[in-house]
Amino acid sequence: MIKEYFPNVDWLILWQETKNTLYMTGISVLATFILGTLLGLILFLTSNGNLWGNKPINAVFSTIVNIFRSIPFIILIVLLIPLTTILVGSMIGVNAALPSLIIGAAPFYARMVEIGLREIDKGVIEAARSMGATTGTIIWKVLLPESMPALISGITVTAIALVSYTAMAGAIGAGGLGSLAYNYGYQRNQNDVTFMATVVILLIVFVIQFIGDFITSKLDKR
């Protein structure tokens, strides 16, 4: 019966491309989490009245983040082709998608990290300073743990955005479910393939959202 409704779907290829999508999403989420948290911390700490309060540095980072956040992803991929070729050695394949995925998502996530950090009560930071904590201790033991639910729900949103970015990256040769839908579904007009690719992507998104919500609720002791 499945054969009847989905005559063009090659299940082996579907599975292979699902793995590619998961691979691209997984690596880029991990890298975005680290890079975005770092950027977010810099944005927060250098902002006016904070531990490293420094207007010029804050302005520089803020501008970089704003620029990369504003470039539409499909254009960013094209712009980054030279960089990708240097880093990965090719502009085709799953690994070639990673630099643009990370550079596209990290600034977006950095802003969410900054918002999460701003929500921490200033008094708590003051209390840690009054105990003689170093800035490093304040980052590791106050800022990150106290904002962790916000950081996790932020990375959940970012991860879902990254799933759709991988589909776009697929259109220019990165592989994954996006390229499957594009190459088979659109180019060869096989709508059943597009439909199945969509179903799998939806499943991935639901699972990410579920895991994110679960971890956030476990961490949130407020």
Partner 1 sequence: MISIKNVRKIYPSKQGQLKAVDDVNLEIKEGEIFGVIGYSGAGKSTLIRMLNGLELPTDGTVTVAGRVISKIKGSELRKARQEISMIFQHFNLLWSRTVSENIAFPLEIAGVPSTQRQKRVNELIKLVGLEGRENAYPSQLSGGQKQRVGIARALANNPKVLLCDEATSALDPQTTDSILELLVDINKRLGLTIVLITHEMHVIRKICHRVAVMESGKVVELGSVLDVFKNPQQPITKRFVQQVTEPEETKDTAEHLLERYHSGLIVQLTFIGESAEQPVITNLIRNNNVTVNILQGKISQTQSGSYGTLFIHIDGDEKEVTNAVDFIRSHQVGVEVVAND
Stretch that binds partner 1, among 56-64, 77-85, 87-95, 120-128 (CB under 8 A): 120-128
| Residue from the set 56, 72, 82, 123 that interacts with partner 1 by CB under 8 A | 123
Please state the three-class secondary structure of the chain as a single string: CHHHHCCCCCHHHHHHHHHHHHHHHHHHHHHHHHHHHHHHHHHHHCCCCCCCCCHHHHHHHHHHHHHHHHCCHHHHHHHCHHHHHHHHCCCCCHHHHHHHHHHHHHHHHHHHHHHHHHCCCHHHHHHHHHCCCCHHHHHHHHHHHHHHHHHHHHHHHHHHHHHHHHHHHHHCCCCCHHHHHHHHHHHCCCHHHHHHHHHHHHHHHHHHHHHHHHHHHHHCCC
Minimum distance of partner 1 from residue 217's CB (angstroms): 14
Which residue, 55 or 188, is less far from partner 1 as judged by CB? 55
| Residue from the set 60, 126, 206, 218 that interacts with partner 1 by CB under 8 A | 126
| Residue from the set 64, 115, 128, 139 that interacts with partner 1 by CB under 8 A | 128
Q: Give the tokens for residue 174.
A: 């990165």
Stretch that binds partner 1, among 2-10, 65-73, 141-149, 151-159 (CB under 8 A): 141-149
Residue 136 in the binding site for partner 1 (CB under 8 A)? no
Which residue, 26 or 53, is less far from partner 1 as judged by CB? 53
| Residue from the set 14, 18, 146, 170 that interacts with partner 1 by CB under 8 A | 146
Which residue, 17 or 146, is less far from partner 1 as judged by CB? 146
Binding site for partner 1 (CB under 8 A): 121, 123-124, 126-134, 137, 141-142, 145-146, 148, 219, 221-222
